[in-house]
Structure 1
Amino acid sequence: MARTTPPRPLDVEALFPEVAAFRKSATRLHPRPGEPGPRESSMGGPVLWPSSEPWPHCADEHPRTAYSPPRTTEGPVPLVPVLQLFAADLPGLELPPGTDLLQLLWCPLEHDPDFVPRPEVFRWDSARPDLAPVAPSRPDGADDDYLPDPCVLHPEVVTDYPNWDLPDEVADALRARFEQVEEETGWSYWYHLSVSSGIKVGGYPTWTQEPDWPDCPSCDRTMRHLLTVNSREFDGEGWRTWLAVEDTPAEGEIWDLPYEERKLVQCPPDLTIGDMGGVYLFECPDCPDRPLAHRFDCS
């Protein structure tokens, strides 16, 4: 079943034409529990990996807290698959020439300074003859909160308008109009009309704190948002516009559903990153080696 974000309840650009110049396309991935195959775009499922390449491990120091699961072994930690994305399934996914498959893996143990997983991105040509299915086992000491359950994806292209990333001078000029529209209609630009929520490619990061865009270490340009892995498909404020039509209850609100039923819609991969936070991946499309960086924040 496809997943469809409801049309915005208001014409954003008619009400606030100043934000039109900042619109971006994003692809919400809408993961849902399933049994994806290794040759499908997926979250937390089996992936393809070159037989000539060793499976990546993390050799970092991993801080231990009172909540960390115990480790019974020492040494490097195997990374776990988070996302496998084929460009054919995501028209907005721009990959380097000669590649059409992007994989996000991460070390599921906590890392300084944020105490969250450390992500790595890999890009391949899916026509490589040595690509073979791999389903890595759970690493010793990994936290369940950082191990996504297998999910199939339902990519959907939507339009993002900036909230935290709206330039200060534009936000200041529009503040009174934002407040007036919210008072008259009940729809908030910040929560309901601007940045799409959930796990997505492109568009704007779903910051919960002040933006922290990284600069490319090679050319010093601001890097481009590649993808966001959020703890939730939608939050308490934005569910009315970011809950998929197909998952909307026939009566009442999403919060009226039993917890386990709602969880399958709000958090299908069963991830919790920090305090309902997100991990944001960035790349520099201007440099041939496409340098990568990541950020994390939470409420």
Structure 2
Amino acid sequence: MTRRAPPRPLDVEQLFPEVAPLRREAVRLHPRAGRPTYRDSSVGGPLLWPQEEPWPVCPDHHSSPMVPVVQVHAADALGLVPFPAGCDLLQVLWCPLEHDGCWVVPEVRWRDSAAVGDVRAAPAVPGGVRHRRIPRPCVVHPEPVTEYPSWDLPNELWDVLEPRFEQVAVETGWDYQYHLSTAPGTKLGGYPGWCQDPQWPDCPGCGRRMEHLLTVESWEADGASRLTWTPVEDRGVRYEASGLMLGDAGGVYFFECRSCPGRPVKERYDCS
């Protein structure tokens, strides 16, 4: 089944033309509990992992195998996220155990799906996991969306636009930050789904600000964003998503440098 959010209830660029140059395209994955196979794009599903390739383990907990979090084929990225040359599969894993100073320790792999022969099954889930850090197996329903910056709106532009944001909210009931700007939920590209002030990392190699690759969030929408970002197909329907709870309903954000060899990755975390 497809998942499509209704159009924005207001014309963002007509009301706030200053944000038009800042628009970005994202792919909402819309994970829903299901039975994906290792051949499918998924959240929390089995990975297309080569039998001859060792399964990654946590560098801090050396006996702890990482758990599958996201697998996305290039076709499901809808051409909106560039894949490395020769690769058509993105795989993200993490260690779900407690770590000092961070929620999870991740691993990001790009690969050529056609080059995978026999497939390795994931090791057993480690014990001692808390706070629902292992996503339940979910099929995905990719949806392209246009986003505008929310927490990432430059301060000087926020100062200019805030009176108009407030006026529109009073007149229409629609809030720029929650209803019109950045899509909630697990997604590729676009803007990170920050709950707090942005923490964009710089590449340790070249010093450039890294690009947002992936947001993995606890919720697909909260009480406010649900009003406009819930897909038409899910209106009035009770569904199960990934079941994650990261911090206090927060998210993990992955960034990459597309200029340096190996496309270095860094992660950030926040919560409400």
Q: Same fold (TM over 0.5)?
A: yes
Q: Which residue of 1 aligns with 2:90?
A: 102
1:193 is aligned, of 173, 176, 180, to 180
| Partner SS, residue 181 of structure 1 | helix
Alpha-carbon displacement from aligned partner over 1:60-111 (angstroms, at most 9, x marks no partner): 05xxxxxxxxxxxxx5210000011100222223111111111000001021
Residue 168 of structure 1 and its aligned partner are, at CA, apart by: 1.0
The answer to whether the 8 A contact 2:67-2:96 is kept is yes
Measure, in 1, the Cα distance between the counterparts of 2:162 and 2:116: 55
Write out per-residue CA displacement over residues 113-149 of structure 1, whole angstroms, 9 at most, x where no aligned residue.
Answer: 13x1111101111111435152332112223601111
Q: CA deviation at 1:241?
A: 0.8
Q: Tell me, yes or no, if structure 1 residue 76 matches structure 2 residue 63.
A: yes
Residue 51 of structure 1: aligned partner: 51
Given the alignment of the two structures, is residue 173 of structure 1 paired with residue 160 of structure 2, yes or no?
yes
Question: Aligned residue for 1:72?
Answer: none
* C-alpha distance in 2 between matches for 1:119 and 1:146: 12
Contact 1:198 1:230 in 2 (8 A): yes
Gaps of 5+ in 2: none
Paired residue secondary structure (2:105): strand
Which residue in 2 is equivalent to 1:298?
271
Matching of residue 147 in structure 1 with residue 154 in structure 2: no
Deviations 1:234-256 (A, max 9, x none): 0111111111111112xxxx8xx
1:87 aligns with 2:60: no
Over aligned residues, Cα RMSD in angstroms? Answer: 1.3
**Maintained 8 Å contact 2:42/2:137:** yes
Identity, % of aligned positions = 56
| Map of 1:33 onto structure 2 | 33
Q: Which residue of 2 aligns with 1:70?
A: none
Q: Aligned equivalents of 2:162 and 2:126: distance in 1? A: 48
What CA distance in whole angstroms lies between the structure 1 residues aligned with 2:105 and 2:71?
Answer: 17
Measured after TM superposition, the shift of residue 229 of structure 1 is 0.3
- Tell me which structure has the larger Cα radius of gyration: 1
In the alignment, what sits opposite 2:18?
18
Q: TM-score, normalised to structure 2's length?
A: 0.96
Deviations 1:29-60 (A, max 9, x none): 00001100110101111111122211010130
Counterpart of 2:195? 208
Correspondence 1:121-160 to 2 at 5 A: 121-143=108-130, 145-160=132-147
Task: State how many pairs are aligned.
Answer: 271
Q: Distance in 2 between matches of 1:212 and 1:95?
A: 24
Q: 1:29 touches 1:154 (CA, 8 Å); kept in 2?
A: yes
Residue 273 of structure 1 is matched in structure 2 by 246
**Any gaps of 5 or more consecutive residues in structure 1?**
62-74, 255-260
User: 2:35 is matched by which residue type in structure 1?
Assistant: E
Give the letter for the 1:123 counterpart: W
Give distance in 1, aligned partners of 2:29 and 2:114: 23
- Aligned partners of 1:129 and 1:291: how far apart in 2? 23
Contact kept in structure 2, 1:46 and 1:133, CA below 8 Å: no
Find the aligned partners of 1:85 and 1:133 in 2 and give their Cα distance: 18
SS of the aligned residue for 1:82 comes to strand
Instruction: Give the TM-score taking structure 1 as reference length.
Output: 0.88
Determine the structure 2 residue equivalent to 1:65: none
- Using the TM superposition, give the Cα deviation of residue 2 of structure 1 relative to its aligned residue in structure 2, in angstroms: 0.8
Q: Deviations over 1:128-178 (max 9, x none)?
A: 143515233211222360111110000000011001111111111111110
SS of residue paired to 2:95: strand
Amino acid in structure 2 at the alignment position of 1:281: F
Q: Which residue of 1 aligns with 2:5?
A: 5
- Decide whether the 8 Å contact of 1:38 with 1:134 is kept in 2: no
Give the distance between the partners of 1:127 and 1:40, measured in 2 at CA: 13
Q: Distance in 2 between matches of 1:189 and 1:129?
A: 45
Higher strand content, 1 or 2: 1
Rounded Cα–Cα distance in structure 1 between residues aligned with 2:43 and 2:12: 32
- Tell whether the 8 Å contact from 2:55 to 2:122 is kept in structure 1 after alignment: no
Q: 2:49–2:116: 8 Å Cα contact kept in structure 1?
A: no
